[in-house]
Structures are given as C-alpha cells and as structure tokens.
Structure 1
Amino acid sequence: MRVELSDQARQYIGRFDELTGVAPKDCLVEEDRLVFLVPAGEMAAAIGQAGETVEEAERRLGKSVDLVEDADTAESFVASALAPAAVNAVTVSEQNDTVAYVEVPEPDRGVAIGAEGRNIETARTLAKRHYDIDDVQLT
C-alpha cells in the first residue's frame, strides 16, 4: 500500500535520518509529537544506547518522538504499534470492515489506549495507512 506523505512529514523523515542514520518509512506529524515508522530490525539504532539517539532527535526536532517498528504481517504490525503494552494476540477480521481485535491483559489496557487515547489512535492511523485496517479494537 502506498502512503502519501506531506512535505512536512518528508522533511521530518529526512532530518530524523540525518540525525540517527535510520530512514523511517512513515511519519505522523502532530502538534507536540512525531511518530516515526522505523524499518524492522532498526529500532535499536533509532533509539541508541540508553536512548541517547532518540533524545537528541527530540531536542533537535523540537518535539517528542515516538517510534513504531514495522512488521511483515498486519497482526505483528498492530502489536508493534501498541508497544510497550503487552499484546497476547491480534486477530484481523474481514467482514464488512477490516478490524484488528487486540487481546491485551487488563493491567496493560491503559498503556495500549494511552493518554487521551493517543496510543490506540496512532495504531489505528498507521494500521489504516499500511494494512488498510479500518479499526483497531481492544478485547
């Protein structure tokens, strides 16, 4: 699926690549934060030792930076997008709409949802953009 990026998102991707050596596949630009989709296997490089790399990127970009690691399947992708919440299982149902049902232990529901629903909304947005999933619901 082809993702169309705004000029601003492309600029942030370029700067993040310059700062970290990791070229994100996508970028969600929000008022106070950036969410980068990092290629599978490159999360450690994007974060850096003790978080130094991502902290420097936050300082230079002037926004909070969240990272999501790409995955090969829709199920793994949704689980990655909800990290650091523990995800027991993801089932994608394709009836009228394509919905990812995510089984999250009760203690991690708040983490999966995030403050003001930010984490689950990020997962929904990225899942729609990359796997054409219409909704992500916690079970």
Structure 2
Amino acid sequence: MEVALSDEARRLVALFEDETGAAVRDCVVDDEHDRLVYLVAAGDMPDAIGPGGEAVRRVEDRLDREIRLVEDAETAADFVANALSPAAVYNVTISENGDTVAYVEVAQADRGVAIGEGGKNIEAARTLAKRHFGVDGIELP
C-alpha cells in the first residue's frame, strides 16, 4: 500500500535516514505522546539502532523527542508482531470477516508493554497495520 506522508513526516524520514543510514518506509508523528514512530525497512534495524543504541539516541537528542522503531515485515501477522515488540507475541491470527482484525496472543506479563502507557503502543501498531496491510483493528483477547 502506498502511504502519503505529510511534509513534516517526509522531513523527519530524511533526517533519520541521513543520520542512521537505515531505510525508513513510514513515520507516524504522535504529538499526543511527543514521540515519533519510524517504520524501518526489514533488515535495516541494526543501522537504525546503531552500536549500543547510539544512532537512534543521536536522532532523539537532535529532535528532542522519543523515538519508537518498528521493523517492516512481509506478512500482516509478522508486521503486527513487530509493531508490538518488545512484547512477547506468541501468535497473531488475521481474521477477515468484513473487517480485517489481527487477534494477538501476548505473554500475560507483556500485555502492558504491548498496550503502552495510555494505549500509545497499540495505537501506533494499529495505525501502521492499517496503512501497510489494511488491518482494521488489533485485539488482545
């Protein structure tokens, strides 16, 4: 799916790519939580993070915003699992009965991590999954 980025998001993608050398496929500007969520091309996560996390920290310092990284994937199920990382995801089932919904099994101890403070992690995952795979919702049964 083709994603139309705002001018601000395009600028932030260019800055991140210049600083890290990682290819970025999308950027969600989350003003409510004062953070950016970058969708990094599959295989480019080591460049995006950098040795000891220095690359992503350098961008965070430059922008004075928290950054969350999500690695792209080939399938909707793998994508949703990556988007909820670092939560331990056991299984993702994609149901297509009218709406496309991803049902995600996570370790009980990691439900809070998957959801995030104020729901910020699961909302970012929902936004990215909708943009890239047409997933209408993500549920943690």
Among 36, 39, 42, the alignment partner of 2:41 is 39
Flag structure 1 segments of 5+ consecutive residues without an equivalent: none
Cα deviation, residue 23, structure 1: 2.2
Aligned twin of 1:107: 109
User: What is residue 23 of structure 2 aligned with on the other side?
Assistant: 23
Whole-angstrom CA distance in 2 between matches of 1:30 and 1:131: 20
What TM-score results when the alignment is normalised by the length of structure 2?
0.97
Structure 1 residues 86-113: Cα deviation after superposition (integer angstroms, max 9, x where no partner): 0000000000210000011111101000
User: Would the aligned equivalents of 2:92 and 2:102 in 1 still touch at CA under 8 Å?
Assistant: yes
Q: Distance in 2 between matches of 1:13 and 1:120?
A: 22
Q: TM (normalized to structure 1)?
A: 0.98
Q: Counterparts of 2:97 and 2:59 in 1: how far apart (Å)?
A: 41
- 4+ long deviations beyond 2 Å: none
Q: Which of the two has greater strand per residue? A: 2
What is the one-letter code of the residue matched to 1:77?
F
The Cα RMSD (Å) is 0.6
**Which residue matches 2:129?**
127
Structure 2 unpaired stretches of 5+: none
- Residue 73 in structure 1 maps to residue 87 in structure 2: no
Please give the alpha-carbon distance, in whole angstroms, between the structure 2 residues aligned to 1:114 and 1:69. Answer: 18
Letter in 1 for 2:90: N
Specify the alignment match of 1:10 in structure 2.
Answer: 10
> How many pairs does the alignment contain?
139
Shift of 1:29: 0.7
User: Among residues 71, 83, 86, which one is paired with 1:84 in the alignment?
Assistant: 86
| Aligned-pair CA distance for 1:61 | 1.7
